[in-house]
Amino acid sequence: MACVILLVGCGSSAQSRSSPSQFSPSPSRLSVLAFSRTTGFRHDSIPAAIELLRGLGTENGFEVIATEDPNTFTDDGLAPFRVVVFLLTTGTVLDADQRAAFERYVGRGGGFVGVHSAADTEYDWAWYGDLLGARFRTHPAVQQATINVEDPNHPSTAQLPAQWVRTDEWYDFRSNPRASVHVLLTVNEATYRGGGMGADHPIAWCHEFGGGRSWYTALGHSTETYTSDQAFATHLLGGIEWASGGRGRC
């Protein structure tokens, strides 16, 4: 897999470890924490998602540290990372102290990337809901649909076709986030069965929030998405680039 986006502040290789507390990265390198803890539904695609992130790191010169240990969420534990990815998380994954540390991390300029069921996470944490933009409500069966690119200039959408046909699990959200975020992608409900949000159905967006940056995509349900979908890989890579402080604004 060859990706052409280069992230700012990067070195030339990646390291992947499961114990972030033992990790001391070079300050000149971009480091990404991939957090995939679940206390609800668990996607079979999590291992493939982690491997995709590791591959993107190797190809683009940034470090990926994968963990499901919530004890990483302290001031010191998060300090090495420019971006934290909630990668297919579900349920309540952090306690009160860990939540407070993550809020401080974003307040210091840290980046957040949410993938798919990151929207099915931490329902009783109001700050997280605001960071994310919208919360999961329901979805129909996995099926093909057409995505419309609303912003073709963002690093996470610049390489996508204007109308992107793909198969995924199409999330409906409890509210439409458009009023508080910059919408990047919408899904056309006329092209699949069971959509419940109507003519305006955002599925990827970004915004600057609380001192940091937040980027979310509802895509990413299946293992095949992470093993054989190059367009999705560039979409995710661009989201990480932007959340890290890279080019473009929301």
Which tens digit of pLDDT belongs to each residue from 150-205?
999 999 999 999 999 999 999 999 999 999 999 999 999 999 999 999 999 999 99
User: Rounded to 5 degrees, what are φ and ψ at 43?
Assistant: -75, 135
Crossing angle (nearest 10°) for helices 230-243 and 46-60: 70
Tell me which residues of the chain have a pLDDT lower than 70: 1-29
25-41 pLDDT per residue, tens? 344 468 999 999 999 99
Predicted TM-score of the model (pTM)? 0.90
Alpha-carbon distance values, 4 to 1, 9, 56, 144, 235 (Å): 10, 16, 10, 27, 12
Chain position carrying tokens 């309540």: 92
In this prediction, residue 105 carries a pLDDT of 98
Q: Which domains does the chain have, with CATH numbers?
A: 30-137+174-184+197-243 (3.40.50.880)
DSSP line for 107-139: HTT-EEEEEGGGGGB-TT-HHHHHHHS--EEE-
Q: How far apart are the first and last CA of the chain?
A: 28
